[in-house]
């Protein structure tokens, strides 16, 4: 056991990505990977058993989404410190996960040094956003956020993202392991929250915010 090490949990459905994180982080004197998970359900069980200092969490996972994992971790363990590491970089997404309680956000394209810096900052109680991404947000190079999106639950947000890909209600239901009726009901709620009256308008809004494939 390393002395005074930051205890980490890796949550990513790609085993190769987790192996890369582990190789990098376990090589450092002040960090130790104590748990891994390849899906949301496993992540919740692993967190309860290990109670790590920092969770490195991907958003795009089958079944329970990373956003739902984030929300449930924060609800059950309010002191949990979670770093989002994802390929998706829209302002709407950054705003959304920060609203849900993420302590940091970096791109999977970030350098290893940035990942290490982010983990150390978050373990120390700070917030951290990828430097290039933060600059892009400031100068408007990343699609703008929308206050209405902050009112969506993680499931509603994911349904909106899937809907933006022109996925059918039945396909979305199968992806999320829920009924078609549940998806249809959620779409009705989403329209009300986003103040749109038609499906076409909902798709235009989602595409305009860069939400497809999130």
User: Over the stretch 46-66, which tens digit does the pLDDT of each residue have?
Assistant: 999 999 999 999 988 877 888
* Alpha helices, DSSP H, located in the chain: 15-26, 40-50, 66-76, 91-99, 112-123, 131-139, 154-164, 169-176, 180-194, 199-208
Mean pLDDT rounded to a whole number for the chain: 84
Give 106-136 pLDDT, tens digit per residue. 988 888 998 999 999 999 999 888 766 665 5
* CATH for the 147-208 domain, from 3.40.640.10, 1.10.10.10, 3.40.190.10, 3.20.20.70: 1.10.10.10
At 144 the pLDDT is 46
Say which CATH class 6-139 falls into: alpha beta
Among residues 160, 36, 39, the alpha carbon closest in space to that of 96 is found at 160
Domain range summary for the chain, segments of one domain joined by +: 6-139, 147-208
Q: Are 55 and 73 in contact (CB under 8 A)?
A: yes
At 110 the pLDDT is 85
């Amino acid at each position: 056991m390393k002395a005074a090490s930051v205890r980490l949990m890796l949550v990513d459905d790609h085993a190769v990505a987790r192996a890369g994180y582990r190789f990098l982080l376990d090589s450092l004197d002040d960090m130790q990977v104590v748990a891994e998970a390849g899906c949301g359900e496993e992540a919740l069980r692993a967190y309860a058993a290990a109670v790590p200092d920092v969770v490195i969490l991907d958003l795009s996972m089958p079944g329970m989404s990373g956003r739902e994992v984030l929300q449930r971790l924060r609800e059950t363990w309010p002191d949990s410190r979670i770093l989002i590491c994802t390929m998706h970089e829209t302002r709407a997404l950054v705003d959304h996960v920060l609203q849900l309680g993420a302590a940091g956000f970096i791109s999977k394209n970030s350098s290893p040094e940035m990942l290490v810096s982010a983990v150390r900052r978050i373990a120390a109680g700070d917030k951290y956003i990828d430097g290039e991404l933060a600059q892009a947000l400031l100068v408007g190079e990343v699609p703008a956020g929308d206050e209405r999106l902050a009112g969506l639950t993680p499931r509603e947000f994911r349904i909106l993202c899937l809907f933006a890909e022109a996925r059918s209600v039945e396909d979305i239901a199968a992806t999320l392991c829920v009924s078609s009726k549940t998806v249809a009901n959620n779409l009705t709620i989403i329209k009300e929250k986003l103040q749109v009256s038609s499906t076409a308008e909902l798709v235009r809004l989602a595409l305009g915010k860069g939400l497809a494939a999130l």
